[in-house]
Amino acid sequence: MYGLAAIQQANGWAMAGAGACIVLSGLAVLSFLISMLPRLSSLFEKRPTPETSPQAPPFEKSRQKEIVPETLPDSQDAAAAIWAATTKDLGAEFALVDLHKKAKEVDLPHPHLSINRFRDAGMLVAKGDGIFSWHLDSE
């Protein structure tokens, strides 16, 4: 006897099912044990104490929020003036990365789009080597 009939005769289907169940349950137990390793290792290691960084005074953050309105005006000149005022502490010349970080700090809306718009309008001028400066008509 050969083929499926031989498997049926020797209870092969039951053995295959039992083998699959054993393998899957073993894998489940193994994955559970692996997931418990970080908790187990924390029993043997000392927990590092988090370093507290000095927080900025609350009045400083509220002062920055006063400069930035919730929505920027439609006029590019007015929007650029707000951007230039909020990024004045970067200096006369700055990197775009610093400009973007500062915009995120003070919650200026759509920093990528605004920076691109200012560059296209000639209000944000490249000085070379990744350095930029504001070129506003009011200056």
Q: Which residue has the tokens 């393998």?
A: 23
Same domain, 33 and 78: no
Q: For position 34, what pLDDT does the model report?
A: 94
Judgement on whether residues 73 and 38 belong to the same structural domain of the protein: no
The pTM score is 0.47
How confident is the model at residue 62, as a pLDDT?
47
Number of C-beta neighbours around residue 102 at 10 A: 19
Per-residue pLDDT of the chain (139 residues; tens, 9 = 90+): 888 888 888 889 999 999 999 999 999 999 999 999 988 887 787 776 767 666 655 555 544 444 666 677 777 888 888 878 877 888 888 888 888 888 888 877 778 888 888 888 888 888 888 788 887 765 5
Cα separation values, 54 from 3, 65, 104, Å:
76, 20, 20
pLDDT at 23: 98
Phi, psi of 91 (to 5 degrees): 105, 180
User: Which amino acid does the sequence have at 5?
Assistant: A
> Do 127 and 73 fall into the same domain?
yes
Range of the domain at 105: 69-134
